[in-house]
Structure 1
Amino acid sequence: MNAYSVEEYVRDIRAVVAEETDITAITDRIKPLALRLASDPSWFENKFRHTDPEQGVGLHLLHEEENHDLAVFAIAWAPGRGVDAHNHKTWAVVSGIEGQEHETNYKRLDDGSRPGFADLVATKQETLYPGSAVCCLPEDIHSVVNNGDQVAVSLHTYGRHLNYTGRSTFNVEAKTETPLILKIEE
């Protein structure tokens, strides 16, 4: 199989988004493309393994449209680190590249009408490895942690750059919801 570049991946995603309006159809069609790019080492650089010491996560922007729609990241997760329960407020496709990351999905029990309050219950857990991929819808809530002993790296594709969606992080025990913005690696 020929090398598959980030540029080709973005071109293919643009075509999917131009043809589809249903979010599930979009993510279902992008998933095999994400798996193809994640399995192709030709574009991958060692710097994509770097994690921010404070965040425990390194977000490496590979592509972003000028209007912030369609953003592609290589995200590195330090062992034992991750992101607490959060939503994306956009569709997402995540494919493992190296290592492993454990995901816990949550169901929101309240109706979201009380600012700063969220009542969540865990519903499903799975570990993402190289060669596997998951899709998220805009209101899906999950947490991610690297449950391995080496840096984990995954390919993340979003319908909109995460820091422009108005997404939230959730403290499950305290039942709180607060805005979430993560630092992007230079």
Structure 2
Amino acid sequence: MSDQDWLVTNKSECQMFATSDTTDYGQNPYRLHRFLTYLEDIIWQEEDDYLRLQKICPLVRRLLNSSEWILTNFLPPDPDMGWSVQVLYDEPDFPLTVQTVVWSPQSISQIHNHATWGIVALIDGQEKNKFWQRSPTPNYPDRIVQTGEHTITAGDILCLMPDAIHQIEAIADEPTISFNVYGVTDYAKRFQFDIAEQTAMIF
């Protein structure tokens, strides 16, 4: 396990991410409800998404290091779709979604954005991310170009800014499992992109 933190900027540039955790947790067990409480404080107190991610990323790592339940709470991938989502927390009118996602080996996602900040913490497997940036032209206003790629392995955390665009490929021989946290999605701005047609549609 490499246990490295990464940030994908709004220009879809992947770079190492310096984070720090100064929270005093006391001696209490660090469970999901405690994680959610600290997370809520950060969401309301910090409006800048970069700074939010910088503060939330260490909390995610601490949770994964402390909770065997999180590490084992996932669904097998759907044989037809090649992936599955297990929602761990999604409360109406609260700006947060927590889930585990599992990809079958060699599964590839659509090219997409999330239209919100997000964190993907890899529990098992390997996930190659290709990154894309909008590069519109008069004839193709939804044109995108690739900005790079990066493979994360178990223990790595990938933090995504709201305008980041990526595509996921599960490259391990076993299922790839991740713990994901997302803010409030602006669904009018969430797209999947067709690189051949240079188009985007609501996702």
Say which is worse superposed, 49-58 or 147-156, in terms of deviation: 49-58
Work out which of the two has the higher radius of gyration on C-alpha atoms and give 1 or 2: 2
Q: Deviations over 1:50-89 (max 9, x none)?
A: 1122321111111112115200110111101131210101
Q: What fraction of aligned residue pairs are identical, expressed as a percent?
A: 26
CA distance in 2, matches of 1:43, 1:25: 28
Question: Which SS does the other structure have where 2:172 is aligned?
Answer: coil
Instruction: Classify 1:134/1:46 alpha carbon distance in 2 versus 1 (closer, same or farther; 3 Å).
Output: closer
Query: What is the aligned residue count?
Result: 176
Please name the residue that 2:166 is paired with.
142
Change in Cα spacing, 1:46 to 1:95, as seen in structure 2 (3 Å) is: closer
Q: Unaligned regions of 5+ residues in structure 1, if any?
A: 181-186
Alpha-carbon deviation of 1:44?
A: 2.9
Per mean C-alpha deviation after superposition, the further-off stretch among 165-174 and 57-66 is 165-174
**Closer, same or farther: CA 63–94 of 1 in aligned 2, 3 Å:** same
Contact 2:129/2:149, CA 8 A, preserved across alignment: yes
| Offset, 1:177 | 0.9
Corresponding position: 1:75 with 2:101: yes
Runs of 4+ in 1 over 6 A off after TM superposition: none
Q: One-letter code of the match for 1:179? A: I
- Counterpart of 2:179 in structure 1: which amino acid? L
TM-score of the two chains, using structure 2 as the length reference: 0.78
1:45 Cα deviation from its structure 2 partner? 6.2
- Aligned match of 1:183: none
Tell me what 1:122 maps to: 146
The CA distance in 1 between the partners of 2:164 and 2:37, in whole Å, is: 26
What RMSD over aligned residues (CA atoms) do the two structures have, in Å?
Answer: 2.3
* SS of aligned partner of 2:106: coil
Q: Deviations over 1:13-66 (max 9, x none)?
A: 101112101110001111111122233442236451411223211111111121
Q: Which blocks of at least 5 consecutive residues in structure 2 are unaligned?
A: 1-26
2: CA distance, partners of 1:155 / 1:71: 11
TM-score (norm 1): 0.85
Secondary structure of 2:63's aligned partner: helix
**Distance in 2 between residues matched to 1:38 and 1:138, nearest whole Å:** 23
| Residue of structure 1 in register with 2:117 after alignment | 91
Is the contact between residue 73 and residue 100 of structure 2 (CA under 8 Å) also seen in structure 1? no
